[in-house]
Amino acid sequence: MSLLTKTYAERASLHANPTAKRLLELMDRKQTNLSVAADVTSKAELLRIAEALGPYICVFKTHIDIVDDFDQDLVDRLVALAKEHDFLIFEDRKFADIGNTVKHQYASGVYHIASWSDITNAHPLPGEGIVKGLKEVGLPLGRGLLLLAEMSSAGSLAKGSYTAEAVRMARRNRDFVFGFIGQRRLPLHGEGDKIDEEGDEDYVYMTPGVGLEAKGDSLGQQYRTPRQVILESGCDVIIVGRGIYGGGDIAEKARTYREAGWAAYLERVGSKN
């Protein structure tokens, strides 16, 4: 059976990474493939969004370095909300340095990201050392990594052979890399790759650049609908920011995105849930 028509629950058992398993299981349990991107600059606002939207989301995505009044209490409270409402935390850090440096950026500094963020992500740009460095810190804690295979913004350089190399890098590090940030489900085999391991090799695709109303912003962001992302492009998690917190009743907006994302998923798997 194609991975595309397997349910999230069926795919959970295909992953060795504990964060991947938890994510797929909780998406199935909560019936949501919605992640909210809370790009706000105050602690109170970030917590308000997590509290209000917790019941509707599978993943709460942060940019923790934009919070003016960051403190340890913020992450303690976020982790408590994640437990209470059953969601994972994803610090969208986009690491991009050599292995030795990212190791410290992940474990130490002001934010101690590895201590509270279930998921983080990295650019494959520096080569495989970046994955190895992050893995040294994250794997013993049961964390998972997404590689940035593509971006949603206009003119992105992450395409073609760069994207294909990202897939190869992930395949060599499946214990830690459980998926991609990308705009579509990617072919596992580039030209010249061996094709003897296809089978049930599964990756989770998390996709930003999702909006039901706007087509983009003035700084190059490009939006597609939940249906385009989940059904037509075969991705798994829709990441929505300003489409939800950009005005109006945020819980109402989150429910709308959640329903749209879930309907597209049910259509894809043939309504087995």
CA distances from residue 48 to 84, 86, 91, 100, 118 in whole angstroms, order as listed: 14, 16, 17, 36, 20
Looking at the Cβ atoms of 200 and 232, the one nearer to ligand 5BU is 232
Q: 28 or 241, CB closer to ligand 5BU?
A: 241
Which residue of this chain has its Cβ atom nearest to ligand 5BU in the complex? Answer: 241
Nearest approach in angstroms of CB 93 to ligand 5BU is: 10
Catalog residues that contact ligand 5BU under the rule CB under 6 A: 37, 39, 63, 92, 148, 151-153, 181, 208-209, 221, 239-243
Per-residue three-class SS string for 187-207: CCCCCCCCCCCCCCCCCEEEE
Question: Closest CB to ligand 5BU among 247 and 270?
Answer: 247
Q: Minimum CB separation from ligand 5BU for residue 200, in Å?
A: 26
**Residue 36: phi, psi to the nearest 5?**
-100, 135
Gap between the Cα atoms of 91 and 266, Å rounded: 28
Counts for the chain of helices (H) and strands (E), in that order: 10, 8
Annotated active-site residue 94? The verdict is yes
What are the distances in angstroms from CA 4 to CA 10, 98, 204? 11, 34, 11
Kindly state the smallest distance separating residue 211's Cβ from ligand 5BU, in Å: 6
Out of 21, 30, 83, 94, the active site residue is 94
Instruction: Rank residues 174 and 242 by Cβ distance to ligand 5BU and give the closer one.
Output: 242
Q: Measured from the CB of residue 268, what is the shortest distance to ligand 5BU in angstroms?
A: 22
| Beta strand spans in 77-176 (E) | 88-95, 119-122, 144-148
> Known catalytic residues?
94
